[in-house]
């Protein structure tokens, strides 16, 4: 009896030791996330604050002006990155996201909608012109599934570089984007009082002046600032009254070109299609870039 009991006791002790060993080898995702975040912070020499919910953030530029509330509209840019600092998904160079501050946690990433709460929480700590870095544990974003389309692996921490622009109004953002586009492409453009930029390559030789009631035949190509062509007709078959077109054309063409003339115009969004573009090829609040040739003019 004592011998059997001793064997049973030894077996029980052995199982307990094995279980204890397995338990020590297992780490929760929170522990793994914390270690990976600390490794990133150390490697990149970051002084970050830990939020009570588990993410870390560093405000690199506080911004200026009044504190913002959830109902304020904000313009911003973002760059979601791997811990290697390689970009995963970022806002476009020439299409600045805008929404109410209270909705800045909503992103479509790799075809999936995510509520990235840390972005909204950190954005609310910034003033206009501010910037921050956010380090998000995997459990708060892509989790164990990752995102194969974005090449995010299981349980991978994510870094977000966040910038809130100083501009308050869309026309101010348009000015920023148009100036950036002209600078990036080293263009020589004249600024019209309407805020349209234009460059006349050929003034034309026609004797009929263009006005808003003129019927014009034009060849044209319309692009977004990223170079995407959204509409074109270069067959000499597009005939319309000028006043039927977007305001950027109406305000710019008269006095600049006649029949045979060629002009390039870059217009702010409110002189294009504004918040209600005619099709999905044109984003809301898009600045537009047109090459225009005047084939004929009739009054």
Locate the domains of the chain by residue range: 29-164, 170-298
DSSP H/E element including 118? helix 117-123
If you classify domain 170-298 with CATH, what class do you get?
Answer: alpha beta
Using only C-alpha atoms, the chain has a radius of gyration, in whole angstroms, of 29
SS3 168: coil
Q: Do 199 and 291 meet the contact criterion of CB atoms below 8 Å apart?
A: no
What is the mean pLDDT of the segment spanning 167-172?
A: 96
**Residue 6: band (very low, low, confident or very high) from pLDDT cuts 50, 70, 90:** low
SS3 content of the chain, % helix, strand, coil (to 5): 25, 30, 40
Per-residue pLDDT tens digits for 240-261: 999 999 999 999 999 999 999 9
- Window from 26-40, 51-65, 178-192, 229-243 with minimum mean pLDDT: 26-40
Q: Do 266 and 189 meet the contact criterion of CB atoms below 8 Å apart?
A: yes
Res 74 pLDDT > 60: yes
CA distance 32 to 44: 18
pLDDT score recorded for residue 1: 46
Per-residue pLDDT tens digits for 187-207: 999 999 999 999 999 999 999
pLDDT score recorded for residue 199: 98
pTM: 0.84
Res 169 pLDDT > 90: yes
Fold adopted by 29-164: Chitinase A; domain 3 (3.10.50)
User: CA nearest 259: which of 243, 233, 236?
Assistant: 236
pLDDT score recorded for residue 211: 97
């Amino acid at each position: 009896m004592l011998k059997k009991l001793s064997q049973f006791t030894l077996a029980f002790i052995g199982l307990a030791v094995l279980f204890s060993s397995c338990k020590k080898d297992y780490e929760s995702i929170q522990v793994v996330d914390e270690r990976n975040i600390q490794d990133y912070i150390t490697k990149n020499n970051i002084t970050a604050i830990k939020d009570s919910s588990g993410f870390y953030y560093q405000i690199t530029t506080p911004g200026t002006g009044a504190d913002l509330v959830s109902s304020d509209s904000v313009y911003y840019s973002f760059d979601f990155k791997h811990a290697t600092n390689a970009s995963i998904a970022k806002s476009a160079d020439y299409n600045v996201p805008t929404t109410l501050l209270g909705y800045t946690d909503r992103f479509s990433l790799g075809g999936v909608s995510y509520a990235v709460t840390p972005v909204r929480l950190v954005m609310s700590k910034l003033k206009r012109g501010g910037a921050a870095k956010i380090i998000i544990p995997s459990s708060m974003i892509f989790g164990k599934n990752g995102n194969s389309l974005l090449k995010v692996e299981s349980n991978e921490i994510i870094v977000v570089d966040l910038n809130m622009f100083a501009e308050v109004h869309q026309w101010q953002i348009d000015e920023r984007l148009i100036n950036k586009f002209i600078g990036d492409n080293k263009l020589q453009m004249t600024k019209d009082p309407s805020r349209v930029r234009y460059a006349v390559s050929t003034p034309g030789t026609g004797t009929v002046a263009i006005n808003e009631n003129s019927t014009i035949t034009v060849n044209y190509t319309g692009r977004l600032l990223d170079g995407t062509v959204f509409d074109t007709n270069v067959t000499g078959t597009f005939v319309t009254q000028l006043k039927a077109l977007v305001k950027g054309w109406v305000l710019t063409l008269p006095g600049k070109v006649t029949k045979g003339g060629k002009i390039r115009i870059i217009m702010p969004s409110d002189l294009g299609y504004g918040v209600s573009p005619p099709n999905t090829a044109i984003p809301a609040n898009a600045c537009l870039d047109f090459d225009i040739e005047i084939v004929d003019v009739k009054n």
